[in-house]
Amino acid sequence: MTEMSPDFEAVSRKNHTAILRALAEAKQVHVAEAMGLSETTISRTDKEVMGRFLAACGLKVVPIAHKSYDAAYIDALRVMAGVGLRSSDESLLEWDK
């Protein structure tokens, strides 16, 4: 087996932790019902392998309420915000005109 990068291992651990937390919050019985599986099947599923699988696919686990944006988009927003904050034209800040 090939050795994985530290980033892969870190993402795998974070995925595993997120899966366990979400499962604890949602309750195994509810997850099993939603998936049409037995609670035993959910209990026996190797969550660490699931975390590694997702990391190997280039994915990470985040709560459904979170939003994800492309890094280039965020960088562009930072540049635009920096330009606006450095602007010496105070009339840009006067909204009543």
Calculate the alpha carbon distances from 7 to 14, 19, 29, 96 in Å.
11, 18, 33, 50
Residue-level pLDDT, tens digit, the chain, 97 residues: 456 677 999 999 999 999 999 999 999 999 999 999 999 999 999 999 999 999 999 999 998 899 989 999 999 999 999 888 887 666 666 666 5
pTM: 0.67
**Single-letter amino acid, residue 80:** M
Domain membership flag for residue 26:
yes
Q: Is residue 20 part of a domain?
A: yes
* Residue 77 within a domain: yes
CATH number at residue 16: 1.10.260.40
39: containing domain: 6-93
Residue 1 belongs to a domain: no
- Look at the chain and report how many structural domains it folds into: 1
Look at phi and psi of residue 37 and say left if phi exceeds 0, alpha if psi is from -120 to 50, else beta. beta
